[in-house]
Structure 1
């Protein structure tokens, strides 16, 4: 598949997703006396909006440097975010059907404040994960450009090390979250509806957690692709800097390689 057609696919979904996010923010802000959980969701959405805007700024050559896997999974992760926001807007309209002029009726306040907490929390966690994923994509997409501008080997080494550590942490966090979401989805599937909760509400909540799990899997694949892109950037940086011998994360030992030029070696003990 043409990598630039993949890039067009990513860019094509970012705009509609950003529009959907902004519509949901407006809907939530129109609820004047919204519960704290709903207000917090607004903050999550605003962060995702900024992440989407940063992804829009990624250039075609930068997408190409990330590779097909990252661009494909970035599109999937963005699409999942859009789907969840659209579904939540539909649910929100149903949950506030007894309210007028932005003021919640007592019945709708109870609905949002008690019965829908799980649904809102699941969407919040998905949005936070989406924010981390898209921000990482935009940040690492510019890594190659930054490396071209960096002159000192230590600057390059620090940049790559920092990005690699951040992505590894994100993968570890995704693994932990996956187990938690699996247990939550199983509990929702077996649970009886709460008093005042309709079958549609329970179905919506279950569907949202399932979407959160799906989106988390997509994000993990993005991070794995980004890790590969970072390793490629590291190899390119080493080639650009010339035959410099460096040491791994343990900062000890000796490395020997075949080299036809002058070798610059740095030795140090444990930090």
Structure 2
């Protein structure tokens, strides 16, 4: 039987989202100083594309494993994260083209620099948050899918089991650290919001109130994105816990019998798991 593979389309990820992500990455690559300003965005966009490419390379040997991995990927909201990120990339591309319309390919004007770095600071931060959250969701979810394949593999040697357990622990640790990071970012966002709501300097330039209100709205968006990121990460963590439980169960329920040496006759063990009559310990 040919192996199964999960396509991005099967998860509900649109071609528009993928092309928008690619277009923004190429656009910023052509603007050196813009690249410097939002270098982290480009890094995360590249990471999203790499993870989605890795998904195409995952091969599932049976329909059960394929279905399990596909459903887990859907639960974590991978498609929604990528599609929303793609829409945000399309909108940001339009804004960036407007902001840099007076720029050459190598140098941004002062006006452009201020627009990207200051006037729209929180809006740019919202976009940063969305791209980073998408990257994390995609990365963790697809890594968990690859571990589903590994855990379900029939290779039950001691070395293979140790490697599975190691990868499960590494991914779980990374997820927990990421959740803690997003919680800290939420705290920072809340503090910025309070600072804007109750500024120490009450003297505002003309239009300052409107700018502050818009900035607060952007911070609220960031907080919602970070909360969604945490929810998705916790769902992946639940999948990892399920895989860890299964792996421990497999190790516990697998018995190996040995003949030879100073032993003679049958060695008997009761198990609801698998008994390997292979004549040697693995």
TM-score w.r.t. the length of structure 1 is: 0.69
SS in 2 for 1:126: helix
**Is contact 1:181-1:213 (8 Å) kept?**
yes
Question: Shift of residue 210 of structure 1?
Answer: 3.7
Q: 1:229 is matched with which residue: 222, 239, 255?
A: 239
Aligned residues: 244
> What's the C-alpha RMSD, in Å, of the aligned pairs?
4.0
Range with greater deviation from structure 2 (232-241 or 66-75): 66-75
Query: In 1, Cα distance between the equivalents of 2:250 and 2:35?
Result: 55
Q: Map 1:138-217 to 2 at 5 A.
A: 138-147=142-151, 148=153, 149=155, 151-152=157-158, 153-185=161-193, 187=195, 203=214, 208-217=218-227
Question: Shift of residue 173 of structure 1?
Answer: 2.2
Task: Check 1:84–1:17 CA distance in 2 against 1; reply closer, same or farther (3 A cut).
Answer: same
Query: In 2, Cα distance between the equivalents of 1:69 and 1:190?
Result: 43
Range with greater deviation from structure 2 (93-102 or 168-177): 93-102
Q: 1:96 is matched with which residue: 96, 100, 122?
A: 100
User: 1:153-201, CA deviations, whole angstroms, 9 ceiling, x for partnerless residues?
Assistant: 3333323222222222222222222222333345557779978999699
Query: In 1, Cα distance between the equivalents of 2:33 and 2:171?
Result: 41
The corresponding residue for 1:267 is none
Query: In 1, Cα distance between the equivalents of 2:270 and 2:218?
Result: 58
**Is contact 1:80-1:211 (8 Å) kept?**
no
**1:133 matched to 2:137:** yes
User: 1:107-164, CA deviations, whole angstroms, 9 ceiling, x for partnerless residues?
Assistant: 2233234333443344234323322221111111111211214522333332322222
User: 1:81-102, CA deviations, whole angstroms, 9 ceiling, x for partnerless residues?
Assistant: 2232223223223322433666
**Is contact 1:21-1:45 (8 Å) kept?**
yes
Query: In 2, Cα distance between the equivalents of 1:190 and 1:23?
Result: 40
Query: In 1, Cα distance between the equivalents of 2:169 and 2:244?
Result: 9
The corresponding residue for 2:249 is 239
SS in 2 for 1:174: helix
Q: Map 1:15-164 to 2 at 5 A.
A: 15-34=15-34, 36-57=36-57, 64-66=67-69, 68=71, 70-72=73-75, 73-99=77-103, 103-147=107-151, 148=153, 149=155, 151-152=157-158, 153-164=161-172
**Is contact 1:11-1:56 (8 Å) kept?**
no
Query: In 1, Cα distance between the equivalents of 2:39 and 2:206?
Result: 25
SS in 1 for 2:90: helix
**Structure with the greater alpha carbon radius of gyration:** 2
Query: Structure 1: 5+ residue runs without aligned partners?
Result: 1-6, 245-258, 263-271
Query: Structure 2: 5+ residue runs without aligned partners?
Result: 1-6, 255-268, 273-282
SS in 2 for 1:13: coil
Question: Shift of residue 237 of structure 1?
Answer: 1.9
User: 1:189-218, CA deviations, whole angstroms, 9 ceiling, x for partnerless residues?
Assistant: 777997899969974x55554443333222
**Is contact 1:21-1:85 (8 Å) kept?**
yes
TM-score w.r.t. the length of structure 2 is: 0.67
Question: Shift of residue 22 of structure 1?
Answer: 1.1
**Is contact 1:44-1:128 (8 Å) kept?**
yes
